[in-house]
Amino acid sequence: MGVSEKIKEIEEEMRRTQKNKATEYHLGLLKGKLARLRAQLLEPAPGAGASAGTGFDVSKSGDARIALVGFPSVGKSTLLSKITKTKSEVAAYSFTTLTAIPGVLEYGGAEIQILDLPGIIEGAAEGKGRGRQVISAAKTSDLIMMVLDATKKAEQRALLERELEAVGIRLNREPPNIYLKAKKAGGMKLSFMSTPKYLDEKMIYNILRDYKMLNCEVLIRDENATVDDFIDVIMAPHRRYIKWYHTPPSLYVYNKIDCISMQFLDQLAHEDHTVVMSCELDLGITDVVDRAWQELNLMRIYTKRKGVQPDFSEALIVRQGATVEDVCDQVHRSLKESFKYALVWGASARHVPQRVGLGHVVADEDVISIVTK
């Protein structure tokens, strides 16, 4: 039996099983099995080479990558063509785009790669259409832009989320506070910080056994942890370090707001992690780009030589929370050895220019002049 059939069988069994206290263990175990099988779907088939299950063959470039993910004809290619110089084919029929089309968004000296992708359909996680490839490409990005059609039913968002969650992409959620460490011997040791509301020992032992983790240490720190959280931790790629799935943050982008009522527009615009736009009317595009930049958690720092205007067409890109020392490292590895002080203009400066040391935390669009010994 293939993986897809096994998944179907388990899903079928879960549907048949009534949810109650008596079936809780069984359902938990099934969920564990399901998660493991779904992860297998993303692995390339033996002998299939690099193409199956992996992303498209587009190399990463620039300071960050944003993937455009969504159902067909929501306007992904239209958006790419709007914000980059690349033209991706746009048409009123589904699956116009059949492969990944990269473009470059220039954003105040930063270069962001935008990846236009084929539309995904329900069942993408099981390998329908280009689903798996799209999802793999999305996982390699620094931000997933979930492009949605504002004229379609609200369900599309939940459907899209379900497809992504099914393959372990956790959308804007904190990792569960569960500690798990594989051991060589000693059996399964389980402890709780406080009595968990949705988990119990028997269920956890069953799931661990199913995953053949017979020797391990588990500490559940979060009383609200669910069986799904627990499975996520088991499935994390580097179990020993309990790394959360590397999941990029995501932003919901509703397009085609030219076709909806003001009332509905207002409702959409107030949802979390959401921006609205109309590519057709050129409405809200700048907001979308600004929000995406914020979600990337990056900052643009401009350097300035003494007596010369700063060059705003080229920025040093650092992570949110970066200090002057990180900025120095971006310029040259040995710069901080000859560092004397820096002058800062911009949001992080108390007065301009402020004279600061290596530990000063910079802000987006700061201008910095580094003075060396």
Ligand X SMILES: Nc1nc2c(ncn2[C@@H]2O[C@H](COP(=O)(O)OP(=O)(O)OP(=O)(O)O)[C@@H](O)[C@H]2O)c(=O)[nH]1
Residues that bind ligand X (CB under 6 A): 70, 72-78, 90-92, 94-97, 118-119, 255-256, 258-259, 278-280
- Strand blocks (E) in 193-297: 216-220, 250-255, 274-276
CB of 289 to ligand X, least distance (A): 15
Is residue 96 within the footprint of Mg ion (CB under 5 A)?
yes
φ, ψ for residue 216 (rounded to 5)? -165, 165
Kindly tell me which of 84 and 247 has the beta carbon lying closer to Mg ion. 84
Shortest Å, Cβ 77 to ligand X: 3
User: Rounded to 5 degrees, what are φ and ψ at 267?
Assistant: -65, -45
For residue 171, the minimal CB distance to ligand X (Å) is 19
Per-residue binding letters, 226-265, with Mg ion (x by CB under 5 A): ----------------------------------------
Nearer to ligand X (CB atom), residue 76 or residue 139: 76
With respect to K ion, which residue has the nearer C-beta, 97 or 141? 97
**Min dist. Cβ of residue 129 to ligand X (A):** 10
Question: Which DSSP helix (H) or strand (E) runs through 157?
Answer: helix 155-166
Q: Does 348 bind Mg ion (CB under 5 A)?
A: no
List strand residue ranges (DSSP E) for 46-203, in order.
64-69, 101-107, 110-116, 143-149, 178-182, 188-192
Please give the helix or strand (H or E) that residue 29 lies within, else none.
helix 24-42
- Per partner kind, with CB cut-offs from 5 to 8 A, the member of Mg ion, ligand X, K ion, none near residue 255 is ligand X
Cβ distance to ligand X smaller for residue 97 or 136: 97
Q: Does 152 bind K ion (CB under 5 A)?
A: no
Q: Report, in this order, helix, strand and coil percent for the chain, each rounded to 5.
A: 35, 20, 45
Amino acid at residue number 7: I
Q: Please state, in angstroms and as integers, the Cα–Cα distance from residue 264 to each residue in 73, 97, 149, 277, following that order.
A: 20, 29, 13, 13
Of 145, 129, 134, 132, the C-alpha closest to 58 is 134
Nearest CB to K ion, comparing residues 96 and 215 = 96
Q: How far apart are CA 243 and CA 237, in angstroms?
A: 7
Contact, 119 vs 70, CB < 8 A?
yes
> Which of residues 32, 67, 73, 117 is near K ion by CB under 5 A?
73
* 279 interface partner picked from K ion, ligand X, Mg ion, none, CB below 5 to 8 A per type: ligand X
Residue found under tokens 């370090």: 241
Q: How far is the CB of 269 from K ion (least distance, A)?
A: 25
How near is the Cβ of 85 to Mg ion at its closest, in Å? 17
Query: What Å distances lie between residue 288 and 58, 67, 251, 293, 317, CA to CA?
Result: 24, 14, 9, 9, 20
Number of H helices, E strands in the chain: 10, 14
Question: Is residue 94 within the footprint of Mg ion (CB under 5 A)?
Answer: no
Which residue's Cβ has the minimum distance to ligand X? 119
Q: Which is nearer to Mg ion, 137 or 234 (CB)?
A: 137
DSSP state at residue 283:
B
Comparison of 37 and 100: residue with beta carbon closer to ligand X: 100
- Cα–Cα dist 133/127, whole Å: 8
Provide the 8-state DSSP code for 23: G
The encoded tokens of residue 120 equal 């995904």
151 contacts K ion (rule: CB under 5 A)? no
Q: Which does 158 bind (CB under 5 to 8 A by kind): K ion, ligand X, Mg ion, none?
A: none
The answer to the question of residue 303 lying near Mg ion (CB under 5 A) is no
Site for Mg ion in 53-82 (CB under 5 A): 76-77
97 contributes a contact to Mg ion by CB under 5 A = yes
**Under rule CB under 5 A, which residues in 85-104 are in contact with K ion?**
91, 96
Residues engaged in binding K ion (CB under 5 A): 73, 91, 96
